[in-house]
Amino acid sequence: MLSYNAQTQNLGIDLDTRHISNKRVLVVDDDVDTIDLIKQILILADFDVASAQSGTETMKILNRVKPDAILLDLMMPEMDGKTTLEQIRGVTNTPVLVVSAITNKEAIVDLLNSGSDDYITKPFDRAEMIARINAQIRRAHSNQFFDGVSIPELNLVLDFSRSEIFLDGIPVQLSPKELAIMQCLTQNIPNVVPYQQISQHVWGSYQSKSKNRIKYLIYSIRKKFSAIDPKTEIITTVGRNGYRIRTV
């Protein structure tokens, strides 16, 4: 494990032994060797890194570490990665990148819809891992500057600082990905937001499968709005280009 000395003073450090204020990543994996490998990769890329070997330990140190991103393994004893993800999402919107050897497409899509921000397959490429982490941190930081908006014509209130949306005064329970889509659309009112831009906002990149993921999430959002007010159209589809929030 790297030590903090004169030769590494410009690099990231091990938050398990010392606290510095660079970009922070929390690595969650029950395998010590994997943790050490990822720590060294991230420290050399100028990240500060903390670790946890279980979901229970993750929840105990999350508030103390305050990471900018979380790398989460799936196959862990006691509390598996998906359960840990659910508990993380109950307290923070910090980007979570799942790192796993699982390649089943349905399982990956399920994780993305359950609150993870990205999925990295083991064995991973070091440069790709760093790029994906940086993309998620940039997205999360850019989102912090837009707290919300009120649209009187639709009787719609969106408070992203609290992760709350109200239609006709009734709370709408959206998943983290659905909230991210609504934030992207409302940030760009009254413009049409293309699929590529939505995907960049939500996942930090655009892939061939992104369009179908967006369509599914839009369908889910509309269904939740319709359950409260079936007569009001909130999200408008604009040809094959993308979506926008209706304001008139």
Cα–Cα distance measured from residue 238 to residue 235, given in angstroms and rounded to the nearest whole number:
10
Residue 4 lies in a domain: no
Residue where a domain stops, chosen among 128, 143, 158: 143
Are 104 and 168 members of one domain? Answer: no
| Domain assignment present for 199 | yes
Residues 58, 167 within the same domain: no
The domain that holds 239 is classified in CATH as 1.10.10.10
Task: Say yes or no: 152 and 180 in one domain.
Answer: yes
Q: Could you tell me if residue 9 is inside a domain? A: no
Sheet of strand 118-121: strand arrangement? 48-52, 24-28, 69-73, 96-100, 118-121
> Domains in the chain: how many in total?
2
Q: Is the Cβ–Cβ distance between 176 and 203 less than 8 Å?
A: no
- Which of 121, 143, 165 represents a domain boundary (last residue)? 143
Neighbours of 140 (CB within 10 A): 17
Please determine, for residue 146, whether its predicted confidence score (pLDDT) is greater than 80.
no
30 plus 123 within the same structural domain: yes
pLDDT value, residue 2: 35
- Residue 60 covered by a domain: yes
Residue at which a domain ends, from 143, 175, 208: 143
Considering the domain architecture, whether residues 95 and 127 belong to the same structural domain is answered as yes
Question: pLDDT by residue (tens digit) across 102-116?
Answer: 877 787 777 777 778
pTM of the shown model: 0.57
224 and 172 in contact (C-beta within 8 Å)? yes
- Peptide bond preceding 190 in cis form (omega within 30 of 0): yes
Asked whether residue 28 falls in the same domain as residue 121, the answer is yes
- Tell me: do 122 and 176 sit in the same domain: no
Q: Read off the pLDDT of residues 2-25 as tens digits, 9 standing for 90 and up.
A: 333 333 344 556 766 655 557 899
Please write the tens of the pLDDT for every residue from 29-79. Answer: 999 999 999 999 999 999 999 999 999 999 999 888 889 999 999 888 778
CA distances from 105 to 29, 119, 159, 209, 240 (A): 22, 11, 33, 11, 25
**pLDDT for position 97:** 93
Query: What is the model's pLDDT at position 3?
Result: 32
For residue 21, the model assigns a pLDDT of 53
Torsional sign, CA 3, 7, 13, 18: positive
Higher pLDDT, 41 or 145: 41
Residue 118, SS3?
strand
Q: What average pLDDT does range 153-174 have in this prediction?
A: 89
DSSP string, 184-210: HHHHTTTS-EEHHHHHHHHHSS--TTH
Percent of the chain with pLDDT over 90: 41
135 and 32 inside one domain: yes
The range of the structural domain enclosing residue 32 comes to 24-143
14 within a domain of the structure (yes/no): no
